[in-house]
């Protein structure tokens, strides 16, 4: 109840689109990040197929580690990357170093980077809803991310007896936001 993508994820399960989805070595991988500072960083790994399907082949989430950790994870996965999509705040300069996270990632060899447009959250949620019926998820490598999409929700306002207009910021936000940037 109140889940943004509940219907779409239920349909993906019914359609058998949550299954084994192997990495296609003939296609590049696009990653989409949600960068956390004091909370989690989430990364989706997707392949856009010629038939219009989107294969979600992997998901990674962690917290309390630096950008060098994520660069190492990307390298260890062994995928050939086509593009890394990051949120607009990747350009913000850090007070301690005077460098942006974009510069740091570039220095760590994470490239090419595409900065996701700064859209209203509602527009991003609608983009995800429009995209989900073309998505195939690897049930093992994406299990945590799938659960984040299933549980991403808004709060119910008991006083007004209605759903609030903004998503709840909780443990599901990072995976859902990274997916929104992908969309």
Most distant CA pair in the chain, distance: 54
Beta strands in the chain (DSSP E): 18-19, 29-34, 41-48, 54-62, 81-86, 113-115, 135-138, 154-157, 162-167
Q: Which pLDDT value is given to residue 95?
A: 67
Q: Indicate if the pLDDT at residue 137 is higher than 80.
A: yes
> Which range, 69-83, 88-102, 118-132, 163-177, has the best average confidence (pLDDT)?
69-83
Q: What is the value of pTM for the model shown?
A: 0.92
Return the minimum-mean-pLDDT range out of 46-50, 75-79, 85-89, 91-95: 91-95
Instruction: Select from 125, 131, 134 the least CA-distant residue to 173.
Output: 125
- pLDDT one-digit tens code per residue, 139-161: 999 999 999 999 998 776 667 66
Residue 66 · residue 99 · CB < 8 Å: no
* 50-68 average pLDDT score: 95
The mean predicted confidence, pLDDT, of the chain is 91
Q: Indicate if the pLDDT at residue 30 is higher than 80.
A: yes
Q: Which pLDDT value is given to residue 167?
A: 72
Q: Indicate if the pLDDT at residue 76 is higher than 80.
A: yes
Q: Which pLDDT value is given to residue 177?
A: 95
Give the pLDDT band (50/70/90) at residue 90.
Answer: confident
Q: Which pLDDT value is given to residue 162?
A: 67
Strands 54-62 and 135-138: parallel
């Amino acid at each position: 109840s109140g889940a943004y993508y509940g219907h779409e994820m239920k349909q993906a399960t019914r359609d058998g689109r949550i299954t084994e989805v192997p990495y296609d070595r003939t296609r590049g991988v696009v990653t989409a990040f949600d960068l956390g500072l004091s909370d989690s960083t989430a990364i989706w790994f997707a392949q856009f197929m010629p038939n219009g399907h989107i294969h979600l082949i992997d998901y990674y989430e962690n917290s309390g580690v630096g950008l060098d950790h994520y660069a190492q994870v990307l390298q260890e996965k062994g995928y050939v990357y086509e593009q890394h999509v990051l949120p607009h705040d990747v350009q913000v300069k850090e007070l301690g170093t005077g460098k942006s996270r974009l510069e740091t990632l570039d220095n760590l060899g994470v490239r090419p980077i595409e900065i996701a447009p700064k859209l209203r959250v509602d527009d991003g949620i609608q983009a995800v809803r429009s995209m989900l019926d073309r998505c195939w998820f690897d049930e093992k490598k994406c299990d945590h991310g799938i659960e984040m999409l299933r549980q991403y929700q808004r709060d119910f306002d008991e006083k007004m007896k209605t759903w609030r207009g903004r998503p709840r910021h909780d443990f599901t936000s990072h995976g859902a936001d990274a997916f929104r940037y992908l969309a």
